[in-house]
């Protein structure tokens, strides 16, 4: 561990927070908002993911602006602008010039997607023999053919021999969904993915380096959330079947 992440190295930082304050820019923000009422930062967009674990940051948050157009020449790392203001903590979230809502409004929509069953159907990710395919990361094409989605395994077009325990972008999944239901569950899961993305504006999906051809930030929808979306979709289709 680097010295600056050691408990006590940075004055006035609670050692318990070091699990979240795991980057120098986070330590810098933490110390600055303790001293100054107002500050502006250009930081990795990943910092948005930690805000709910940093209540002091939220209390002073004026705005977050996601910059899809890369402002730098030497990196493609996704960045955002965070503004902190003790006197004007609006908690606004912007994407470029568009106001998306407040952080808490968007986060509540995100939580609703998380607060669903994860065990209604068995799912084993990274199973090379799985009948279900999952594209966890947006591609770069403009026609949405490489957009985050579930599909039949044979439609994924990825070498099954390349699947590893650590695969995180393209994968195959074995599932206990009955074969006659699978296509309908896939369709419902993809509908829910799109509904989630529309409602949250992708704010809580991990930003991926590089944009799509039409200039939108590429995103990753992790296995934790995708499992819950697929489970909710299975339960929805199952409920419809029981009514007929």
Asked whether the predicted pLDDT for residue 215 surpasses 50, the reply is yes
Q: What average pLDDT is seen over the chain?
A: 92
- Most confidently predicted of 66-75, 158-167, 212-221: 158-167
Report the alpha-carbon distance of residue 23 to residue 47 in Å, rounded.
Answer: 10
For the chain, give every domain's residue range.
3-102, 123-243
**Percentage above 90 pLDDT, the chain:** 77
Report the alpha-carbon distance of residue 102 to residue 93 in Å, rounded.
Answer: 6
- The pTM assigned to this predicted structure is 0.90
Residues 202 and 129: beta-carbon distance below 8 Å:
no
């Amino acid at each position: 561990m680097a010295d600056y992440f050691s408990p006590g190295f940075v004055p006035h930082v609670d050692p318990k927070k070091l699990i979240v304050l795991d980057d120098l820019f986070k330590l810098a923000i933490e110390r600055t908002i303790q001293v100054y009422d107002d500050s502006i930062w250009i930081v990795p967009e990943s910092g948005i993911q930690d805000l709910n674990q940093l209540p002091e940051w939220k209390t002073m948050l004026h705005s977050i602006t996601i910059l899809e157009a890369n402002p730098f020449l030497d990196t493609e790392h996704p960045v955002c602008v965070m503004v902190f203001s003790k006197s004007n903590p609006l908690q606004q979230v912007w994407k470029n010039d568009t106001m998306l809502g407040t952080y808490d409004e968007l986060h509540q929509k995100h939580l609703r997607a998380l607060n669903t069953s994860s065990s209604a159907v068995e799912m084993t990710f990274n199973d090379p023999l799985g009948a279900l395919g999952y594209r966890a990361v947006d591609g770069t094409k403009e026609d949405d053919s490489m957009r985050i989605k579930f599909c039949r395994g044979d439609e994924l077009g990825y070498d099954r021999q390349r699947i590893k325990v650590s695969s995180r972008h393209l994968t195959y999944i074995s599932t206990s969904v009955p074969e006659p239901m699978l296509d309908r569950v896939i369709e419902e899961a993809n509908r829910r993915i799109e509904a989630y993305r529309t409602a949250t504006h992708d704010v809580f999906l991990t930003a991926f380096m590089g944009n799509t051809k039409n200039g939108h930030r590429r995103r990753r929808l992790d296995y934790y959330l995708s499992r819950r979306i697929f489970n909710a979709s299975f339960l929805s289709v199952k409920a419809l079947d029981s009514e007929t």
